[in-house]
Structure 1
Amino acid sequence: MLVKTAKTPEELQDVYRIRKEVFVEEQNVPPELEIDAFDQSATHFIAYDEETPVAAARLRITDEGYGKLERICVVKSHRGKSIGKKIMQKMEQEINQQGFHKAKLNAQIHAQDFYQKLGYEVTSGEFMDAGIPHVTMIKNV
């Protein structure tokens, strides 16, 4: 399993293809909400199983000094194989390398336990984003 920063046009296409599969096709998120203005400035991550792209995510540094972890997704066929954990660890390393020590994300309610096992704590009440219930979570990294 290889988790890396997506830098080439092909790697970025893989990122967007996975996000479309998981969020747009599987979770019915409108395409115009899935791709947004932050994609241009974010750092994107991709995970490969051999040559097959299987997970994606993006990271932004916010004005508050948080590394904001977003669009974290693993294709259905590869869930439960610790790929999500590996991509999270890679993003947390990147936050540290950029000189920051706090991570923040908006977790879909069904994934809240996954993030809690990685040390994230809920800091908000439940809210809706793209028609899906979420909570905000933070962690010192």
Structure 2
Amino acid sequence: MEIRKVTSQKERDDAIYVRMIVFVKEQHVPEDEELDQYDETAIHFVGYVQDEPVAASRLRYVDEYGKLERICVRKEFRGKHFGKMLMEEMERQLQQDGYMKAKLNAQTHAIGFYEDQGYEKLSENVFMDAGIPHVAMIKEFE
């Protein structure tokens, strides 16, 4: 998979396309919750396999954290480590931009995936986001 930091409208549209498939169609997140005011200022990433958009995410800076958000891989492309590749690219970007902490809100079914990437739960508190249970997780870089 080739990961691109979004620099064009087509790449941005491709990232949104992947998010719509995964979050809106597959997970039934309302479209008006999936697309929000942060999309305008976030750094977006999109992953391609033979020019087909298959993965997407966004990165925002909040306080002293790089906040990793909207991490998704289309169902038929899962199990190929594309999610891990996307995470590593976002982590490279935030460290390049001078941040040494990453934070994310993980869907509870994906906690193990994020733990495998070095993230730790901030607490056992589960909260709902778009009708899906989540936990906050953090990773610090040296």
Question: Normalising by structure 1, what TM-score?
Answer: 0.98
CA distance in structure 2 between the partners assigned to 1:95 and 1:38 by the alignment: 17
Q: Which amino acid aligns with 1:81?
A: K
Cα deviations by residue, 1:76-109 (Å, 9 ceiling, x for unpaired): 0000100000000000000101001000000000
Structure 2: where are the runs of 5+ without partners?
Answer: none
Q: CA deviation at 1:50?
A: 1.3
Query: SS where residue 7 of structure 1 aligns?
Result: coil
Which residue number in structure 1 is paired with residue 15 of structure 2? 15
Which residue number in structure 1 is paired with residue 130 of structure 2? 130
Which residue number in structure 2 is paired with residue 52 of structure 1? 52
CA distance in structure 2 between the partners assigned to 1:18 and 1:4 by the alignment: 14
Which residue number in structure 2 is paired with residue 3 of structure 1? 3
More deviation, 83-92/124-133 = 124-133
Q: Which amino acid aligns with 1:24?
A: V
CA distance in structure 1 between the partners assigned to 2:41 and 2:51 by the alignment: 26
Moved over 3 A (4+): none
Which residue number in structure 1 is paired with residue 110 of structure 2? 111
Cα deviations by residue, 1:34-93 (Å, 9 ceiling, x for unpaired): 000000000000000111110000000002x10000000000000010000000000000
CA distance in structure 1 between the partners assigned to 2:113 and 2:42 by the alignment: 23
CA distance in structure 2 between the partners assigned to 1:87 and 1:16 by the alignment: 15
User: For the Cα contact (< 8 Å) 1:119–1:139, is it kept in 2?
Assistant: yes
Structure 1: where are the runs of 5+ without partners?
Answer: none
CA distance in structure 1 between the partners assigned to 2:71 and 2:20 by the alignment: 12
CA distance in structure 2 between the partners assigned to 1:50 and 1:102 by the alignment: 33
Question: Normalising by structure 2, what TM-score?
Answer: 0.97
What is the root-mean-square deviation of aligned Cα atoms in Å? 0.6
CA distance in structure 2 between the partners assigned to 1:66 and 1:132 by the alignment: 23
TM alignment of 1:87-98, pairs within 5 A: 87-98=86-97
CA distance in structure 2 between the partners assigned to 1:117 and 1:94 by the alignment: 20
